[in-house]
Structure 1
Amino acid sequence: MLTKEEIYTNLMKVPEFKNLPPSQIEWMATKGTISIHPDGEQLFKLGDPMNELRILFKGRINLYMEQGGNLYYFDVVEPFEISGRLPYSRMKGAGAIGVAVEEAISYRLHSDYFHELITTNYELAEVLVHAMTDRVREFTKFQQQNDKMMALGKLSAGLAHELNNPSAAVVRGAQELKKHLANLPEHFKGVIRIQSTEVIVDGVNDLLFSKINATQPALSLMEKTKKEDVMLQWLDDNEIQEGYMMAETFSDFGFNRDDMEGLAKMLRPQDKNAVVDWLFQVLTTERLVHDIEEAARRINTLVSSIKSYTHMDQAPAKEPIDIREGLQSTLTLLNHKIKRNRVQVTLHFAENLPKPKIYVSSMNQVWMNIIDNALDALEGKDDARLDITTERDREFILVTITDNGPGIPREIQDKIFDAFYTTKPVGKGTGLGLEIVRQIIRRHDGEVKVRSVPGQTSFEVCFPL
C-alpha cells in the first residue's frame, strides 16, 4: 500500500493539479484511499453506485458498453486521468463497465468529503468543475456520434432490406430473359416458314398490342385459375405444342377463348402452332422486361427517397418544401419495419398546404426519430396503427404523429426530451433522439409536444410558415 508521501507524489503528476497549492494536494492525500486491482478484475458495472472521485496511478481501465448482450470497447482510462464522480455532478451510477488492464492502482476520494473540498479548497474545486464540464462535453459528443451511427445502422439495415427484393428480381429477370432469348433462334425457324399476307400480319399485331397495352383487372385466385383452365383447354383442343406452359401467360395478358378462335380463323391450319408460339415468345419477353422495369423502378424510388431524406444534393440552407415529401420519404425508408410490425399507416394530408422554409435534412431527422419510436412502441401489438396528419393552424404548420401503442407514463412525459434519458434497453437507444428533435424544432422557432394516454400517443410538431 502507498504511503501518504507516495500518494502526494502521484497526485502531483495529474496534469490538472500542476498549479494547485501544495496544501490542497496534501489534503487529498490525507483524505483519500488506495485500491489495488489485479489484471482482468471488473471494478464496476453498468448502474453500480458511483460515489467516489477516482484517479488512476498505475495500469489502465478499459471501458465497455453493452449492446445486444455483447460487450463493446469504447474508451480507456489512462494513468493520472480524473474519473468517477466529481463535485456538483449529478452522476448516480456507472455509465459503463470498467475492467482493469494489468495491475491497476487507483486513488479514491469518497463524496462524503466533497462539501469540505468545496468549502476549504477553492482552487481544487474549480479544477474539478472544469474537468466535469470537459467530460460532459466529450461524453455528449460521443453519445451524439453513437446516436448518428445507430440512426445510420437503422437506415442502412432498412435500405438493405428494401433493396434486397427488387435487386434480386432484376438479377433473376435478367437471367430468365437471357435464357429466353437464347431459345428464340430455334422458334424463329417456325415463324420463317409461315406464308401470310399484310392483312393477316396486321391483324395478329393489332391483337397482340391491344393486349400488351391494356390494363388487366385484378382477379381473385379462383377467377385466375378458371381463366387459365379455359385457355389450357383451347390450346390442348388445337394441339398447340407445350400449351401447358403458355396458358398462364396468355391468360395474364387478357387473352380469352374468343381471341384465340379469332386468331385461328385468320391463319392457315399449318401456321397456327408457329404463330401461337411466336405470340407466346413476345409476351414472355414483354413480361420479363416489365418485371425488370418494375424492380428497377422500385430501386430508383428508394434511391430518390434516400436523396430526399438526406437532401444530399442541396446546401444546408432553409428552403420552401412540401412537408409531405419528407414524411413520405421517411415512411419509405422505414417500410421494412412497418411491414414487419404489420402496422396500418393512415395519412391525412391537408390539400394546398403552404410550403414552409425549413432545413430539409434536419426536419427529416425529426420525422425519422418520432416515427421510428412509434414503430418501436407498436412492436408485437395486434391491430397496430400509425396516423399522420398535416394541417395549417393559423400561421403555423402542425404535424401530428399518433400511434396506438401502450403510451408513455405520465410521470416520465416531462423527461423524454431530456438528453440521455431513455426507456429503451441498453444498446437500443442513447436518449438523444427526442432531445435532438427538440433542438431542431427550436432551431425552426417551433415547438414539439407529446400527449399520451394508454393506447394513444401523439407527438405534435408545430413550426411557423
Structure 2
Amino acid sequence: MAVTIEQLQQIEALADVPAPQLQWLIDQGEEYWLEKGDKLFSIGDHLDKTHVFLEGKIRLCAMQQGVLREVYVYDKAHVAGYLPFSRLVTVKLTCEILQRSHFLSIPGPIIREAIKLHYELTAALVGVMTNRVRDYTAFQQQTEKMISLGKLSAGLAHELNNPAAAIARTSGLLQTQVELLTELFKPLSQLQLTAEQVETLDKKINTLLCNRPMQIKSMLEQAAVEDALYNWMEEEELDVNAGELSANFAEAGIATADLDEIKACAPVQYLPLLLQWMNNGAVALKMAADIREASERISNLVNSVKNYTQMDRDGNLQPTDIHTGLRNTLTMLDYKLRKGNVTVEEHFDLTLPQLDAYPGELNQVWTNIIDNAIDAMAVNKEGVLRITTQQDNEFIEVTINDNGPGIPQEILANVFDPFFTTKEVGKGTGLGLDIVNRIMRQHKGTVRLRSQPGSTSFTLCFPIHLQ
C-alpha cells in the first residue's frame, strides 16, 4: 500500500505542510513494513535516517541503571530518527516493533537538502525535534529524580530499620523484666524489715537507679568497675549471678561504695534479694532509655524527611535558613556517608541572614552535589566532606569540598552539560549538575568549580534578596 499525502497530513506535526512538499518527502523515501519483534533502530546506531511511523504499534526504550526500560509506546503516526539541525549522531533509544508496522524512511542527506528547498517541511521537522528534546529531557530529569529518590529511600529504610528493630527487640526483653518483678514480689514482701529500713532502702535504691546523672566511662574504666563489683560480691559470698549483676551495675553507674551503703541498711541475708531487685530495675530502666532513644531517632528522621521535602510549605519564594536544608540533606544521606566512611566537617556561620529561596529546589542542589562528592570519594574507601557557609556583602556563599581524586582538567568544562557523566553506565543520567545549574539561575546565583587531585570544590553564590 503506497504512502499518501493524506496519511502524512494525519500526523499533527505535518498537518500544515503544503501537499507538494509532502509528496516530495514520499518520493524521496523508502516505504516498508516491519514485523513484531523487529527493531527499527537500537541504542548506539548511527543516526542517518528520518523515520515516519504511519501505522502499527512501536515501543521506545531507554537504558536506565543498566536495564532497558520503556519510555513511550506509539500506536499513532509519528516522526522519529534524524531531524534537521539535530546535533545527535548516535541513537539514544531502542525502537521495538510490538505489532506489524508501516514506515517511510528518508536518508539524512535528503532531509538536509529539504532545508534548502522546503521551508514549511523543515520548520515542521524542527518543531518535532524541539518537542523531542523537551520530552526526552523531561524524562531524563524525572529519571534523575527517581534515581536520587531511590538512593535516599534505601538509606532512609536502613536508618529507620535499625531503631525500629531495636524497639521491637528491647520491648520484648522489657516484658521479660516486668514479669521478673512479679516473681520477686513474694520473697520481697516476706522480708522482716522495719518501716525505717524500708524507707532508707527505697531512697538509696531510687537515687542509684533514677536520680544519678550518667557518667561516660572509657572501656578500661568500665571494666575496672565491673571487676571491683564482681570481687565485692564474691568476697561477700552472695548467692547471685555476680557476672551479670556486676556488668549491669557498672553500666548503671553503681559502684562498690553504693553496695556498702545498701549492705548497711539491711541484714546481710537479705542482700542477694535486694541486689536482684536493683538489677531488675537497672535493666528495665536501661531498656526504657533504649526504646526512648530509638523512638527519638525515628522521630528525628521523619522530621528531617518532612523538612527536606517541604511537606508543610508551599512552593513559593520564602525566607530560608540554608543550614536547615544542608543538615536535613546530610541526615537523608547519612547512611551513604557512613557506608563510604566519609567524615563531615561543618564550618557554618550560623549568624547568616535568611535567604530568599525556594527551599525544596535548594535541597536538590545540596543533594546532587553532596551525593556526587560521596561517589567521588568512594575510590579512596574513605573521605572528608567539608561544607562552609559565609557571607560576602549582599551574597551568601556555600562551598562543598571533597578530598576525592578530582575531576580531570580535560573534562572540567563539560561537567555541567546535560547528559554528561563520568559515572559507570546505569549509575547516572548526567543531569544532576545540569539541574544544579538551572536551579542556581532560578535563584540568580552562580556556581564555581575548582578541582585538582585531592580537592574538588563547588562554590555556590546566592544573592540574599531576589526581589
TM-score when scaled to structure 2? Answer: 0.92
For 1:329, the equivalent position in structure 2 comes to 328
Look up the equivalent residue of 1:112 and give its one-letter code: P
1:167 counterpart (161, 164, 169): 164
CA RMSD of aligned residues (A): 2.1
Conserved? CA contact 1:216–1:253, under 8 Å: no
Conserved? CA contact 1:208–1:279, under 8 Å: no
- The alignment partner of 1:439 has SS state of helix
Look up the equivalent residue of 2:19 and give its one-letter code: P
For 2:77, the equivalent position in structure 1 comes to 80
Deviations along 1:189-248, one digit per CA (max 9) or x if unpaired, are 12212313335533553354245432222312x443343233223233431333333221
Q: Which runs of 5+ in 2 are unaligned?
A: none
Deviation at 1:266, TM superposition (A): 1.4
Deviation at 1:105, TM superposition (A): 3.4
Deviation at 1:306, TM superposition (A): 1.1
Aligned residues: 461
Look up the equivalent residue of 1:75 and give its one-letter code: Y
Deviations along 1:261-281, one digit per CA (max 9) or x if unpaired, are 221121112321221111111
> Aligned partners of 2:286, 2:15: CA distance in 1, in Å?
79
Deviations along 1:404-427, one digit per CA (max 9) or x if unpaired, are 112222233233223333333343
For 1:275, the equivalent position in structure 2 comes to 274
- The alignment partner of 2:85 has SS state of coil
For 1:348, the equivalent position in structure 2 comes to 347
> Aligned partners of 2:437, 2:395: CA distance in 1, in Å?
17
Deviation at 1:447, TM superposition (A): 1.1
Deviations along 1:2-46, one digit per CA (max 9) or x if unpaired, are 6xx446564454343333322212211221123443321233322
2:121 counterpart (96, 109, 124): 124
For 1:463, the equivalent position in structure 2 comes to 462
Conserved? CA contact 1:418–1:435, under 8 Å: yes
> Aligned partners of 1:346, 1:18: CA distance in 2, in Å?
60
Deviation at 1:346, TM superposition (A): 1.1
> Aligned partners of 2:98, 2:155: CA distance in 1, in Å?
39
1:417 aligns with 2:424: no
Deviation at 1:140, TM superposition (A): 2.4
Look up the equivalent residue of 2:217 and give its one-letter code: A
2:181 counterpart (175, 180, 184): 184
> Aligned partners of 1:319, 1:20: CA distance in 2, in Å?
48
For 1:144, the equivalent position in structure 2 comes to 141
2:92 counterpart (91, 95, 99): 95
- The alignment partner of 1:95 has SS state of coil
> Aligned partners of 1:342, 1:144: CA distance in 2, in Å?
29
Deviation at 1:250, TM superposition (A): 0.5
Look up the equivalent residue of 2:412 and give its one-letter code: Q
TM-score when scaled to structure 1? Answer: 0.93
Q: Which runs of 5+ in 1 are unaligned?
A: none
Comparing 386-395 and 351-360, the one that deviates more: 351-360
Comparing 367-376 and 409-418, the one that deviates more: 409-418
> Aligned partners of 1:35, 1:453: CA distance in 2, in Å?
54
For 1:26, the equivalent position in structure 2 comes to 23
Deviations along 1:137-185, one digit per CA (max 9) or x if unpaired, are 2222222222222222222112111111011111111111112212211
Look up the equivalent residue of 2:228 and give its one-letter code: V
For 1:292, the equivalent position in structure 2 comes to 291
1:37 counterpart (34, 39, 56): 34
Residues 1:205 and 1:318: Cα distance change in structure 2 (over 3 Å): farther
- The alignment partner of 1:64 has SS state of strand
Comparing 241-250 and 452-461, the one that deviates more: 241-250
> Aligned partners of 1:458, 1:38: CA distance in 2, in Å?
53
> Aligned partners of 2:436, 2:99: CA distance in 1, in Å?
43
- The alignment partner of 2:104 has SS state of strand
